[in-house]
Amino acid sequence: NMATLDNYKIIKELGKGAFSNVKLGQEKDTDKLVALKIIKEEALESKSNFATFKNEIDIMKEISHPNVINMIKHSTKGVLTKPNGDSTKGTVYLTLELATGGELFDFISQTGSFPEPVARYYFHQIVDAFEYLHGKGISHRDMKPDNIMLDDEFNIKIADFGFSSKAASNQSFKGTRCYMAPEILIGSKYYGPMVDIFAAGIILFIMVTQIPPFQMAHPKDGWYKFVCSNRMDKFWKYHGENQPEGIDFFSPSFIDLMNGIFNFDHTTRPSLAEIKEHEWYNGPVATKEEIKEEFSRRKQNLEQESNESVPETNISQEEYDKKSVHRSVVTGEIEEGSSLPFLNRREAEYVPGINSFTKFYSKSNVEELFACLATFAINNSSDYEFSAEEFSATIYIADEEDNKVKVQVNIQLVEEDKHIIEAIKISGDRFQFNKFFKELKSFYGGHVNAKA
C-alpha cells in the first residue's frame, strides 16, 4: 500500500528542506511522474513562513521557461492519506514538473569536471534563464548545486523558488552561505539579480574545476581574502596547485571572467549583458549531440563493474534489531512499534523516476548487500538507523566541523537476481554527500558486479 495525496501516489522521498518535503509522485489516471513539494504543517504555523510559501506560488505562476522547473498546479486543500487509511485534510503542496535527468553536480562529483565547451553550454542555459527571470523582476537568491537539475535531454532545470524575490533591493539573509555574495554575508542591502550572477559564477567555477572557489565570500575566508585584497594572482596560483597543468589549466579569458564576477564590490561586477559580450562566453560551445556523447561516455565509465574482493561482514540480528525503527511513509516520524502489525523486511521494487548518479547495481543477494550496508554504517557513523520494513538505512555523516549530512541508502529489486543500491541526500552539503557515496561504493567492492 502507498500513501496518496489527492490524485497522486507517493512513491518515495526525493529530498527534505527546513519547511517542506519533496516526494516523487505518480498521477493515478495517467501514471505521469511529478515532484510533490509538501509544506510541513508546523511550518505553516508561522505567518512569515506562510507568506514565503505564498510568495513562491505567486512567482511560479508567472514562470514558464525551458531551463526552469515549472509548476503544474498547487493546492491548499490536499487530502493526504497514509497506507493504513488515515487521512489529513488541508495539506498544502505544489505539483512540479519532474527533472528526470538527475542532479548536475552529482554527475560532476562522480565523473569529473567539464571541459570548457561543455561548461559553456550549461552556463549559457543559466544565463538564458536569468535573463528571463530578471526581465520579469524576479531574482532566485538561492542558486546552489542542489537546485540545478537535468531533464532527459541533459538540459539544465533550475529548481526551488522558495527564497525568490521581486523586490528592487533586499537585506534579508536568504540563500545558502557557501553561495552567497559578500554583500549578503556582511549584512548590507543587495540587488537580487547581482547575487544571482555571483552564485552563477561559483557554479561555473565548480563545473570547470570540480571544487568550489572558496568556502564563503567573506574577507576572512582563506581563499576569498585574496579577492578582497586584489591579489587574484595568489588566488589562481593556489587553485592551479589542484590541477595537473598548474595555472595553465585555466584559460586567460576564464580567469578574467571569474575575476569580474567574484569582485567584492558588486558595482564593478559584470551584468548579464556584459557577460554575454565577454570573450570566454563567446568561445566554442559543445553541441547537443556532443553533450549526449559526453554524458553517455561518462555514464559507461561510472557503471563499470568492480574487480575488488567482497568485504567481510558479521552483523548480528541484535545489531539490526536495536537500530531498526518504523517510520511514517508520509511524515518520516517514528511510529510506535506497539501500534503496528509485525512486519518483516520486504524487497521493495525499484521505481526509476529520476536518473541518479549515486547508485550502482549488484547480482549479490539482498541479505549480503544489507549486511554490507550495515557494516559500513557501523564503521563510519555513530548515528544511523535501519528501516524495519525494507532493506534501507538512514546514515548521518559529520565532517571535521560537525556539519552533518543525512543520507538514505535503499537496496531495491530491479529484476530477478539483480538489485540497485541507491544513495539519496536528504539534507546537508552535496559535496560531502558525494564523498560519502564514493566511500560507500568502494566499500561494497566486488558486490558492484552488474550493469544497468
CATH number of the domain that 316 lies in?
3.30.310.80
**Does 148 share its domain with 220?**
yes
Q: What pLDDT score was predicted for residue 259?
A: 97
**Does 67 share its domain with 109?**
no
Decide which of 300, 327, 345 is a domain's last residue.
Answer: 300
**Does 239 share its domain with 388?**
no
Decide which of 96, 118, 135 is a domain's last residue.
Answer: 96
**Does 316 share its domain with 346?**
yes
**Does 389 share its domain with 417?**
yes
Q: What pLDDT score was predicted for residue 179?
A: 87
Q: Give the range of the structural domain holding residue 182, as residue numbers without chain letter.
A: 102-300
| CB-CB contact of 329 with 348 (8 Å) | no
Q: Is residue 160 part of a domain?
A: yes
- Three-state secondary structure call for residue 186: coil
Partnered with residue 38 across adjacent β-strands are 21, 93
Rounded alpha-carbon distances, angstroms, from residue 121 to 139, 155, 157: 22, 9, 13
The set of residues, in sequence order, having a beta carbon less than 8 Å from that of 386 and lying 6+ positions away, is 320, 323, 324, 325, 374, 377, 392, 393
Rounded alpha-carbon distances, angstroms, from residue 304 to 301, 361, 412: 5, 10, 19
What DSSP designation does 308 have? Answer: S
- Around Cβ 59, how many Cβ atoms within 10 Å? 21
**CA atoms 46, 52, 53, 58: torsion sign:** positive
User: Can you tell me the distance from the alpha carbon of 362 to that of 394, in angstroms, rounded to the nearest whole number?
Assistant: 20
Q: What pLDDT score was predicted for residue 199?
A: 94
Q: What pLDDT score was predicted for residue 248?
A: 93
How many structural domains is the chain composed of? 3
- Around Cβ 390, how many Cβ atoms within 10 Å? 16
Q: What pLDDT score was predicted for residue 322?
A: 64
37 is in an annotated binding site: yes
Q: What pLDDT score was predicted for residue 167?
A: 76
Region of 306 on the Ramachandran plot (φ > 0 left; ψ -120 to 50 alpha; else beta): beta
Q: Is 142 a catalytic residue?
A: yes
**Does 310 share its domain with 296?**
no
Q: Which residue has the cell 535527468?
A: 101
**Does 227 share its domain with 209?**
yes
Q: Which residue has the cell 576569498?
A: 224
Q: What pLDDT score was predicted for residue 320?
A: 67
The set of residues, in sequence order, having a beta carbon less than 8 Å from that of 260 and lying 6+ positions away, is 268, 269, 270, 278
Whole-prediction pTM value? 0.86
pLDDT under 70 in the chain at which residues? 169, 171-175, 317-344
| Neighbouring C-alpha atoms within 13 Å toward the C-beta of 188 | 13
Q: Is residue 452 part of a domain?
A: no
The active-site residue, picked from 58, 106, 128, 142, is 142
**Does 252 share its domain with 181?**
yes
